Amino acid sequence: MKRLWLPVLLLVMMGMAFLTNAGAADKVLKMSTTTSTQASGLLDVLLPELEKDTGIKVKVIAKGTGAAIRDGMDGNVDVIFVHAKGREEKFIADGFGTQRYAVMHNDFVILGPASDSAKIKGQSSAAKALAGIAGAHQIFVSRGDDSGTNTMEHALWKGTGLALAETTQTIVMKGKMREITFVRPAGDWYLSIGQGMGKALTVADEKQAYILADRGTYIKYKFGRDVPIDLDVLCEGDPALANPYGVIPVSPKKHPHVNGALAKEFAEWLVSEKGQKVIADYRLLGKPLFYPDAAAQ
């Protein structure tokens, strides 16, 4: 009898293991997000807590906000977590997203070397600071990657009153060639590199150049690394530099194959008391990188 029951027992155990694995597989979420949520280190603390509470594992695809939004439009992911509110609202209005959850915010800052040849330190207007950099013909590093940061930078240049040229640039995103069009000031002092925030900060540091950065990634690269970047905050506090982040589940009506239920569960956890606390508690040397926004909804 024992010999007869052994194969049956093994089959039962294999079936249970299969069901367990299948259930775990069902809890895998595909998310396209801006590089700043990854480069800042936030996802390293946020996602383990998410998995602990919900069992959800997140496959992260980090890229510029523009590319992340296109992933959502194409149905390549279940959810997007980005920071370009106008583009996010259009994404929803066009039927690609269900709703925007206001998750958190920080701000953008203009960085540069301590020597500050452009003399912008303490300038409260971001547009005037950029005009000063242009007038002094000091090197300015632009991400040039169609990200949320890049979108903000272009808006700020438009506010300077300087003559701007429309430029088309070919960039490589995840092995694919893509053309982006943007406005930029004239001059070889302006370097558009087609890279994420971390790499752009590294280039700016190497060249002792000016750059627009989100504060979270700046704090990570300035205070959270063995070899910190040697750039200082020279312009901050302008309301135009506000940087809100939102999470948007991709609409199952537009793309029936996406995991809408899991995306909603993920978004609701982010704006829950626990998710917001994890965001608020994430600090480097006592410095907060992001501020939770769910209470303001």
* pLDDT at position 9 over 60: no
Tens-place pLDDT, residues 15-72: 555 444 444 457 999 999 998 898 889 999 999 999 999 999 999 999 888 889 999 9
Which pLDDT score is estimated for 116? 98
Give percent above pLDDT 70 in the chain: 87
For 182-211, how does the pLDDT look when each residue is reduced to its tens digit (9 = 90+)? Answer: 778 989 999 999 888 999 999 999 999 999
Q: What does the H/E/C string look like for 200-266?
A: HHHHHHHHCCEEEEEHHHHHHHHHCCCCCCCCEEEECCCHHHEEEEEEEEECCCCCCCCCHHHHHHH
Band (pLDDT 50/70/90 cuts) for residue 267 is very high
- The residue ranges of DSSP E strands in the chain, in sequence order, are 28-34, 57-63, 79-82, 101-112, 140-142, 164-173, 176-185, 190-192, 210-214, 232-235, 242-249, 283-284, 287-288, 291-292
Q: Does the pLDDT of residue 250 top 70, yes or no?
A: yes
Q: Is 232 exposed, middle or buried (0-12, 13-18, 19+ CB in 10 A)?
A: middle
Torsion angles phi and psi, residue 254, rounded to 5: -85, -40
The Cα 253–Cα 99 span in angstroms is: 13
Put simply, whether the predicted model's pTM sits higher than 0.85 gets the answer no
pLDDT for residue 203: 98
Range from 9-23, 179-193, 233-247 that averages highest in pLDDT: 233-247
> DSSP class of residue 121?
T
